[in-house]
């Protein structure tokens, strides 16, 4: 019998790859997209396309207004840093407080109702932006919590397992694997500050990591940039 998996699908490069891997590993996929007051709708459009393309059994959207709490350039009208290099040594302003904790909680709620075996999340601790909730120790703590928080954990000693297949991968390796599995990266959305038509800025942390990933993978970058292809750095 196929394993059943809730897959967190933001519409970005990592979650798209994660989704493709779940399908490749023969999972029955339930895609979950959390709308949390992002400033841009491009991710949602990308998530819809990807859920359809990879034949999710269901694609559920959940709205939760994290934006009302403020504290992040991704949900508030604060400038997204474009200083030409990824943040190092500090947590950047694009961090959304407790985002992955909220995402995983919602995935856990659905997984429990579905009796799902797994929760897949495309977090990455290598080429990431320095977010605390993208680290292995965070995922381990959530796994522990899930066991204690759920009916199945308590009554049947059975809890959905967190699967984070990209955790220790470089962006280049993620792109190579996704390309092999047919991920249409031109239809994924990564930029923190896209223009109104959804084209990427090419300058924010997320764009920089993505561009470097394609370079490292030796695969042409299919991303549509608002000012044309940026110079390689």
Interface segment toward its own copies; rule CB under 8 A; list 10-18, 100-108, 121-129, 188-196: 100-108
Q: Does 88 bind its own copies (CB under 8 A)?
A: no
Side-chain-facing half-sphere of 136: CA atoms under 13 Å: 6
H or E element in which residue 82 lies: none
71: left (phi over 0), alpha (psi -120 to 50) or beta: left
**Binding residue (CB under 8 A) for its own copies from 120, 128, 138, 214:** 138
DSSP 161: E
Q: Does 64 bind its own copies (CB under 8 A)?
A: yes
CA distance 53 to 69: 34
Q: CB within 8 A of 120, min separation 6: which ones?
A: 5, 6, 7, 8, 18, 19, 21, 22, 27, 163, 164, 165
Q: Does 52 bind its own copies (CB under 8 A)?
A: no
Interface segment toward its own copies; rule CB under 8 A; list 9-17, 57-65, 116-124, 186-194: 57-65
- Phi and psi at 61, nearest 5°, equal -110, 135
Count of residues that bind its own copies according to CB under 8 A: 45
- Beta-carbon count within 10 A of 169 CB: 19
Q: Does 90 bind its own copies (CB under 8 A)?
A: yes
Q: Is 211 exposed, middle or buried (0-12, 13-18, 19+ CB in 10 A)?
A: buried
- Residue 211 beta carbon to its own copies: minimum distance, rounded to whole angstroms: 26
Interface segment toward its own copies; rule CB under 8 A; list 17-25, 67-75, 186-194, 213-221: 67-75
Q: Does 109 bind its own copies (CB under 8 A)?
A: yes
Q: Does 102 bind its own copies (CB under 8 A)?
A: yes
Residues 146-175 that bind its own copies (CB under 8 A): 146, 148-151, 153-155
Q: Summarize as ranges the residues that interact with its own copies (CB under 8 A).
A: 60, 62-66, 68-71, 90-91, 95-102, 104-106, 108-110, 112-113, 132-133, 135, 137-138, 141-142, 144-146, 148-151, 153-155
């Amino acid at each position: 019998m196929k394993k059943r998996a809730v897959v967190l699908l933001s519409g970005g490069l990592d979650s798209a790859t994660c989704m493709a891997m779940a399908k490749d590993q023969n999972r029955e996929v339930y895609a979950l997209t959390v709308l949390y007051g992002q400033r841009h709708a491009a991710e949602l459009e990308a998530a819809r396309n990807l859920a359809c393309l990879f034949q999710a059994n269901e694609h559920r959207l959940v709205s939760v207004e994290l934006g009302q709490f403020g504290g992040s350039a991704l949900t508030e009208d604060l400038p997204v840093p474009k200083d030409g290099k990824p943040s190092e040594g500090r947590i950047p302003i694009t961090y959304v407080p407790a985002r992955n904790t909220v995402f995983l909680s919602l995935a856990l709620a659905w997984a429990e109702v579905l009796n799902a075996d797994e929760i897949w999340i495309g977090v990455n601790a290598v080429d990431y932006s320095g977010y605390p909730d993208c680290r292995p120790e965070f995922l381990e703590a959530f796994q522990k919590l899930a066991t204690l928080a759920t009916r199945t954990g308590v009554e049947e000693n059975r809890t959905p397992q967190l699967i984070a297949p990209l955790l220790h991968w470089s962006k280049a390796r993620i792109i190579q694997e996704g390309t092999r599995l047919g991920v249409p990266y031109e239809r994924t959305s990564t930029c923190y500050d896209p223009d109104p038509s959804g084209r990427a800025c090419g300058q924010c942390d997320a764009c920089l990591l993505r561009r470097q990933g394609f370079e490292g993978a030796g695969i042409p970058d299919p991303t549509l940039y608002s000012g044309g292809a940026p110079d390689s750095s």
